[in-house]
Structure 1
Amino acid sequence: MNNVSKSSAIFTGMAAVLFPICGLLLILSGIYLHLVPQLPDVESLKHVEFKTPLQILSKDGHLIAEYGDEHTTPLTYRQIPPMFIQAVTAAEDDRFFSHEGIDPRGLARAAFELVTTGSIQSGGSTITMQVAKNYFLSHEKTFSRKFTEILLAHEIEQTLTKQEILTLYVNKIFLGHRAYGIAAASQVYFGKNIRDLNLPQLAMIAGLPKAPSRYNPVDDAPRAMERRNWILGRMHTLGYISDTQFQKAVQAPVGLSYRGTISEVNGLYLAEMVRDTLVQRFGEDIYTSGWKVYTTVPADRQNAANLAVRDGLIAYDHRHGYRGPEAQHADIDDFHAVNGLEPGEVEQVNPQSINVSLRDGENITIPWSGLSWARKSLGSGRIGLPPQSASDVVKSGDIIRCLHTAQGWELAELPQVQGLLIALDPRDGSLQALVGGFDFFASKYNRVIQGGRQVGSSIKPFIYASALDHGYTPASMINDAPLSFTFGDQVWTPQNDDGEFMGPITLRRALYLSRNLVSIRLLQAQGLDPVIRYMGRFGLPVSQMPRNLTLALGSMDALPLQMATGYATFANGGYRINPYFIDHVTDARGKILFRAQPLSVCSGCDNPQMAGHAPRVIPATVAFQMNSILRDVIVHGTGRGALALGRNDVAGKTGTTNEARDAWFDGYSPTLVAVTWVGYDNPASLGSGEFGGVAAVPVWNSFMEHALASTPVQGWSMPSGLAAVWTSKINGQPTSNSDPDGYMEYLPADQAPQSTPTAPAASGSTATDQLF
């Protein structure tokens, strides 16, 4: 009986153990048979296309901007630093290279948690299981999902190599702050390429997968360092790093350089134009397509344009006095850098300098050379006396702006005035630089392509070009004398800027001296409608032109881009080009999806009207004459500030509207057109003396000096149909080369004398006698 009882007890005990096991196996088998047909095809992992963001690049491949919810930069296995592989396996799965996708010990721990707590807290996932979860599954913590994860991990291990699995893992894992993958995290947290990170930085990134929001160094640096040092300890224990490496690494600071996306080019106004164009054409999918858009803009020219606009507006601001601090004894963290103008708090005021604590904690000294400009702004364009000491300018506790220049730190302030620059290549219309305002984040309004402003005297060259194309010459005499017009009970008596009149004057001198009365007479003589139609050839907005004689003074509104397009016709010898800013687009694999095919100038072609070539819209003779006259604007006229470039192959025209509300300079060389503008968004006077030659020309100079630095001087060649004739600037008639009032003029060949006179010629009748 005892043996029977013992046998029965053994059987009962075995049954108590085996039946649940068998039941569990049956349940697992049922789940397996249910889940296997539903498993996704792991072969798809061999052809993964990551949701990489849209990148906007300069023509030479430098990053301008990145658009998309996920920062992803996929790597190949060879691009993964070996030390990172050691760090991440030490942290996440130290048996990765030896197991077959499943870690029994980790699973046992997870199963115990499920039985005892009803949920899985620690996971037990291998790197392969995490790949299965990240690419195929949700993040819910259920038994069904975990079992599916195990099955997929097994399938993945049978299909892919360890190297392929690890590559998928490091490219997909979320690492906080919109960074997906280690390459993106390297840029986001340290501002570096992953290959340039050191051991402690690699270990810190390896610590992020467990809890990105908890362990990232931006949100919690102490906890991130604690996690990093734990991983370094694991690497040391596993023999991956030496004692010396370990000790040095755990002592290293966080080394954070958080910057989100690394932008190498300051061109967000341009980037926004590109983004908007692509969304309209291709839809919202572009944000995850991995496309790279190469613009036509070289990085160095774009950065030079930004500096030119910034420095020009700061210089204008200096001329009009210091308005005072932005705040007093405020929290410096509430203020942010704007286009290089760093916020700081004045800590100490010395007799001839101040000590300032910047927002990032750096302590600087601003010497007297950086303070002495700050005469107090008294309003209405008035400024106070020059300061004698630093205490005349600031007080301790002032929140100020600081700008670092080549000469050191200086006091600055955020300009209230705005400005812009647009540059393009007149030979094909490709944009070379675009700055739509002082700072994109302060104002996203792109003044180059939005709104439009009165152009002032910048319009005059197009009226003069029409005259040259219809019987006038640069030597034609026109009367600079008073005019008066009556409109009902209103009387309009236009004036020149200087309030004076010069009497009979050549067309050339009238333009480079910007005589208003001459422009009005010239427009009146030709007729409004013919001139407006003619100006339409240049791409100017005909619909915006007033149907009255104020057009001669630039009362119309135009976009800076339209003005640049118009002046390009002079620069290129008479052709109409169409501006464009996207050079080509590639997909994530580098395949070209689009390449621009602009109309380009081909002045030497037998048939310049053929497909692919820009159409001629004004004669080559007229373009050359205008270039010669607009060169004189710089040599003798209102644009003399551009002489600072030291080049004889640049020309242009200033523009200033009533009460100096707008200051323009439209200038160019044979290879580059640049238009600059300075003014207030809500039109107001820029102040006494702030003409185009004062406010806008310096911005143009600064940009062109850099942009043309490597371009040889090359003027415009005189086309056939013209003759160079020594001409009197007094009466516009041919004269001898010994005449002190003579100059070289370019006249139609059929109007040129057969020989140069030996003495000054008497004044004779001209085609414009009716204008007197």
Structure 2
Amino acid sequence: MKFIKYLLITIATMTLLAVGSVVALYYYVKPELPSVETLRDVRLQVPMQVFTADGKLISQFGEQRRTPKTLDEIPQQLIDAILATEDSRFYDHFGIDPIGVARAASVLVTTGEIREGASTITMQLARNFFLTRERAWMRKIKEAFIALHIEELLTKDEILELYLNKLALGQRAYGVGAAAEVYYGRELHELTLAEIATIAGLPKGPSILNPISNPQASVERRRVVLRRMLDEGFITQEEYQVAFDAPVTARLHGATIEVSAPYLAEMVRNEMVERFGADEAYTGGYRVYTTVHSEHQLAAERALRENLHAYDERHGYRGPVNRLWGDLRNFEGVRDTSDVRSGLLNPDTMAIPEARGNQPWTSAEISEYLSRQPVYGPLRPAVVTRVGEREADVIVRGGQQVTLNWSAMDWARPYIDERNQGAPPQRASDILTAGDHIWVRRESDESDFKLAQIPGPSSAMVTMHPHNGALAAVVGGYSFQMSQYNRATQAKRQVGSTIKPFIYAAAIEDGYTLATIMNDAPITQWNPGSGSAWRPRNSPEVYDGPIRLRKALARSKNVVSVRLIRSVGVDKTAEFMQRFGFAEQDIPRNESLSLGSASFTPLELTRGFAVFANGGYLVDPHFIARIESLHGDVIEMASPAYTCADCRLQELYEDWWEHELPQAPRVLSEQTAFLISDGLTSTIWGGGSWANQTGWNGTGWRAQSLRNRNIAGKTGTTNDVKDAWFVGYGTGFVTTTWVGFDNLENALGSVTLNSNLGRDRQPIVGSEAGATTALPGWLSFMQAVIGDFSTEPFELPPNVVSVRIDDETGKLSNTSGYTSLFEYFVSGTEPTEFVDTQDNSPRLFEDNDDELFQ
């Protein structure tokens, strides 16, 4: 009895000591324990996603890939796999599993090593949220105390859901939802048992058990998970065997990008960082919906790229990127100057031809080499393996073997410089040599490959809704991977003749009309200070003498623009232009302003032209329509200023805006806006009578192919053809296209006819210009999307009248033949004098500065 008594006392004492030790230990570490109350309001770090207006994913920003799932969205088989492997008694213990602790202690005592862990899922959750993976007793003690707190605070299902969404599973995937996307490119419910078991095995060691970097270790771990599931009765023997023998199917999958619009995505990223700060923007799970529709964006990107390739092909072939074998005596290394200039070629990825001489490479060697070469948009690297009379065999990156026929390469006459091209090739060997590393591309998914090269110049395209400034499409260059410089929003380039509508608008506000006669004659202005003369010239150098302003604007007469700014005044014109949103520092205060010496970005120029398109209002460009939380709650909604109370655009967005939108400021009279827009329709359609040999074309006549007389436009070309522009618009859109080299020293040059192609395949011959270089890209885009935008006639405002005038003099006319036409005037500015049909004397026109035909 005494023994039993002492034994009980000893047990009680030890129990009290143990409890006391635990309590003492708890109070000792309590100051260092974090508050688990935060788990009640935990927000997992979720990347920001950017979508088009029609809900297609453009991009995802954030270091961690995470796709949070509720417990009922996670397949039961995956839950079973996790429980069987990590904590089979999860629903039975209180956060600490005494049986698991005893088992781990037994192994420690018998072996002297820690071979088996005792961490429950709750303890792992505590570590993942609040602690580190440091292998220390104090960390395990803290982990246990935090686990007890968690069990008091949350239900078992809440704990399991947090755990499954918090797990680090390798390849920057956090949570089982993200792991399914990263490793298999599918949703959780689409995974096989073998794939589920692979994911369930990752928590033990996401790096060493990774199915991509260490597939064999992953298979072994997967089989352990399957055995545990079989032992727990979660799967049958047959299911076990099928999954046991399954091959490794994991490979790295990025976010499922549905629309490639990286320049727009980067604009959104910058805006979100400015609004919320980098940490919040990248981890807050925001879903940002842009104003850009996916079809418009893709059409703009295709049009821009095809236009650049058309330019590049008519200027000639610059040669292969590299030569892997064959005759190297006359090969100068990298001949594709655009690659060198852009810094696209990494010397580490280049072959060393001298080491191989004339020995052709094997298909495996070629494929391995090509796998290290970049891909830019539609451009794919390829290697020529055989050259025939008028065809060549190539291997394209990915291992595809194709034959380039003659029509795929007959454009490739030698490039000499921007103004000169060599003789057209007669056979494939004039262009290609076996061993050449080249570029190929497809013009569509159905078309065959053709020889290509990285375009030399760059380009940008912007489309805006003029009634509220919402962007409908924006492309900042050929390839974001090649250059992150967004030319649509960052490149201030001289605008050339696209400045003229603003010069003419200032003149109309100063009392001029579209029928005013100006002198289209050369100007020579002596500058005593410099001892030289300024001689602005038309391009081409054709002078028509007295000419109506409508015709001068449509045919882009430089000297007329100079005479107008002289009449209105340089300072007055410069101040007037600031109404259109142009910055004062970007507007030169001299007469060169009239010829486009000002430099604006394509977006700024688009905004300026929107004032004409919408009837005189200045709108602010925007590209974010709304920002939603991870759960779909609207956090911010765009509320742009609008131009009309009942315009179609507001009706389109009526579900988004629950409050009255602000009114955009009027900066130009609706009468002047209408007259400029109507005048710019003549840029496309011209005037006169072709039947009576008085017909004439405006500089944008190629846009007639749209067969829409309600579209206005203006071409622009700068000195030495370094920048080419076209801005075209209707009542529901404004689209600007710019083409030029990033290097300001490079000119766009000129081309001669390639006899291999003829006029049908090479319609542009001569000097590059806004009409020949930028307009075709604009036209290609509009042909794809014009049905989606309003092109109603520009609304005739009050106090604008139409009267019949004489075509030659601009005076009133009583005749109804081809020598007269109807013209619009602000009421009170129409001519009052009728033309004298009997006056046959020569029309000598004298300017105030006595410079007639100098």
Same fold flag (TM > 0.5): yes
> Which whole-Å CA distance do the structure 1 matches of 2:150 and 2:556 have between them?
77
Deviates more, 1:403-412 or 1:165-174: 403-412
> Residue deviations 1:516-572, cap 9 Å, x none?
111111111211111111111111233222222211111121122211111000100
Deviating runs (4+, > 6 A) in structure 1?
A: 10-26, 116-119, 753-769
> Which whole-Å CA distance do the structure 2 matches of 1:614 and 1:390 have between them?
60
Q: Match for 1:320: what amino acid?
A: H
**1:126-137 matched pairs, under 5 angstroms:** 126-137=120-131
Change (3 A) 1:633 1:241: farther
* Deviation at residue 442 of structure 1 after TM alignment: 1.8
Which of 607, 616, 621 is the aligned partner of 2:666? 616
Change (3 A) 1:378 1:549: same
1:642 aligned residue: 703
* Deviation at residue 736 of structure 1 after TM alignment: 5.2
Helix, strand or coil at the partner of 2:738 = strand
**TM-score between both structures, scaled by the size of structure 1:** 0.89
Deviates more, 1:363-372 or 1:317-326: 363-372
Which of 407, 419, 426 is the aligned partner of 1:381? 419
Which of 317, 329, 333 is the aligned partner of 1:322? 317
**1:143-292 matched pairs, under 5 angstroms:** 143-236=137-230, 238-242=232-236, 245-246=239-240, 248-249=242-243, 253-256=247-250, 258-286=252-280, 287-292=282-287
> Residue deviations 1:688-709, cap 9 Å, x none?
1211122211222233333333
Change (3 A) 1:25 1:46: closer
Which of 468, 478, 483 is the aligned partner of 1:443? 483
> Residue deviations 1:705-738, cap 9 Å, x none?
3333333541212112122233333222333564
> Which whole-Å CA distance do the structure 2 matches of 1:350 and 1:224 have between them?
49
> Which whole-Å CA distance do the structure 1 matches of 2:417 and 2:736 have between them?
30
**1:69-88 matched pairs, under 5 angstroms:** 69-88=63-82
The answer as to 2:375 corresponding to 1:337 is yes
The answer as to 2:739 corresponding to 1:701 is no
Helix, strand or coil at the partner of 1:537 = helix
**1:502-541 matched pairs, under 5 angstroms:** 502-541=544-583
Helix, strand or coil at the partner of 2:272 = helix
**TM-score between both structures, scaled by the size of structure 2:** 0.81
Q: Match for 1:678: what amino acid?
A: V
1:370 aligned residue: 408
* Deviation at residue 217 of structure 1 after TM alignment: 3.4
Change (3 A) 1:345 1:100: farther
Q: Match for 2:440: what amino acid?
A: C
**1:40-79 matched pairs, under 5 angstroms:** 40-79=34-73
* Deviation at residue 660 of structure 1 after TM alignment: 0.9
Change (3 A) 1:401 1:478: same
1:3 aligned residue: none
Whether the aligned pair in 1 keeps the contact of 2:546 and 2:845 (CA below 8 Å) is no
1:303 aligned residue: 298
1:597 aligned residue: 639
> Which whole-Å CA distance do the structure 2 matches of 1:32 and 1:403 have between them?
68
Helix, strand or coil at the partner of 2:449 = strand
* Deviation at residue 512 of structure 1 after TM alignment: 0.8
Change (3 A) 1:719 1:757: farther
Helix, strand or coil at the partner of 2:203 = coil
Helix, strand or coil at the partner of 1:633 = helix
Whether the aligned pair in 1 keeps the contact of 2:811 and 2:834 (CA below 8 Å) is no
**1:576-725 matched pairs, under 5 angstroms:** 576-602=618-644, 612-636=662-686, 637-683=698-744, 684-688=746-750, 689-711=767-789, 713-725=791-803
Q: Match for 2:378: what amino acid?
A: G
Q: Which runs of 5+ in 1 are unaligned?
A: 1-6
Q: Match for 2:509: what amino acid?
A: D
> Which whole-Å CA distance do the structure 2 matches of 1:766 and 1:618 have between them?
35
Deviates more, 1:181-190 or 1:548-557: 181-190
Q: Match for 1:625: what amino acid?
A: L
Aligned residues: 762
* Deviation at residue 256 of structure 1 after TM alignment: 4.1
Q: Match for 1:323: what amino acid?
A: R
Change (3 A) 1:172 1:21: same
Whether the aligned pair in 2 keeps the contact of 1:733 and 1:761 (CA below 8 Å) is no
> Which whole-Å CA distance do the structure 2 matches of 1:450 and 1:611 have between them?
29
Helix, strand or coil at the partner of 1:278 = helix
Q: Match for 1:183: what amino acid?
A: G
> Which whole-Å CA distance do the structure 1 matches of 2:193 and 2:542 have between them?
75
> Which whole-Å CA distance do the structure 2 matches of 1:568 and 1:583 have between them?
19
Q: Match for 2:315: what amino acid?
A: H
Which of 602, 606, 619 is the aligned partner of 1:560? 602
Percent identity of the aligned residues? 41
Whether the aligned pair in 2 keeps the contact of 1:541 and 1:562 (CA below 8 Å) is no
> Which whole-Å CA distance do the structure 2 matches of 1:762 and 1:74 have between them?
85
CA RMSD of aligned residues (A): 3.5
> Which whole-Å CA distance do the structure 2 matches of 1:763 and 1:32 have between them?
112
Whether the aligned pair in 1 keeps the contact of 2:520 and 2:547 (CA below 8 Å) is yes
Whether the aligned pair in 2 keeps the contact of 1:734 and 1:760 (CA below 8 Å) is no
* Deviation at residue 225 of structure 1 after TM alignment: 4.2
Change (3 A) 1:710 1:377: same
* Deviation at residue 421 of structure 1 after TM alignment: 1.1
The answer as to 2:649 corresponding to 1:571 is no
Q: Match for 1:308: what amino acid?
A: A
Change (3 A) 1:701 1:31: same
* Deviation at residue 194 of structure 1 after TM alignment: 3.3
Q: Match for 1:519: what amino acid?
A: S
* Deviation at residue 38 of structure 1 after TM alignment: 5.9
**1:333-482 matched pairs, under 5 angstroms:** 333-406=371-444, 407-482=447-522
* Deviation at residue 419 of structure 1 after TM alignment: 0.8
> Residue deviations 1:632-677, cap 9 Å, x none?
1122311122223333322111111111100111111111111111
Q: Match for 2:408: what amino acid?
A: G
Q: Which runs of 5+ in 2 are unaligned?
A: 325-350, 352-368, 648-659, 687-697, 751-766
Change (3 A) 1:754 1:480: closer
Helix, strand or coil at the partner of 1:52 = coil
> Residue deviations 1:345-396, cap 9 Å, x none?
3344455444444444444444444333333323343333333444433333
Q: Match for 1:343: what amino acid?
A: P
> Which whole-Å CA distance do the structure 2 matches of 1:619 and 1:293 have between them?
36
Change (3 A) 1:261 1:50: same
> Which whole-Å CA distance do the structure 2 matches of 1:733 and 1:422 have between them?
40
1:4 aligned residue: none
* Deviation at residue 122 of structure 1 after TM alignment: 4.5
> Residue deviations 1:616-645, cap 9 Å, x none?
222211111111111111223111222233
> Which whole-Å CA distance do the structure 2 matches of 1:439 and 1:582 have between them?
22
Which of 812, 818, 830 is the aligned partner of 1:740? 818
Helix, strand or coil at the partner of 2:788 = coil
> Which whole-Å CA distance do the structure 1 matches of 2:425 and 2:611 have between them?
49
2:650 aligned residue: none
Change (3 A) 1:154 1:755: same
Whether the aligned pair in 1 keeps the contact of 2:498 and 2:714 (CA below 8 Å) is yes
Helix, strand or coil at the partner of 1:716 = coil
* Deviation at residue 63 of structure 1 after TM alignment: 2.8
Q: Match for 1:681: what amino acid?
A: D
2:691 aligned residue: none
Change (3 A) 1:248 1:336: farther
Q: Match for 1:552: what amino acid?
A: S
Whether the aligned pair in 2 keeps the contact of 1:191 and 1:259 (CA below 8 Å) is yes
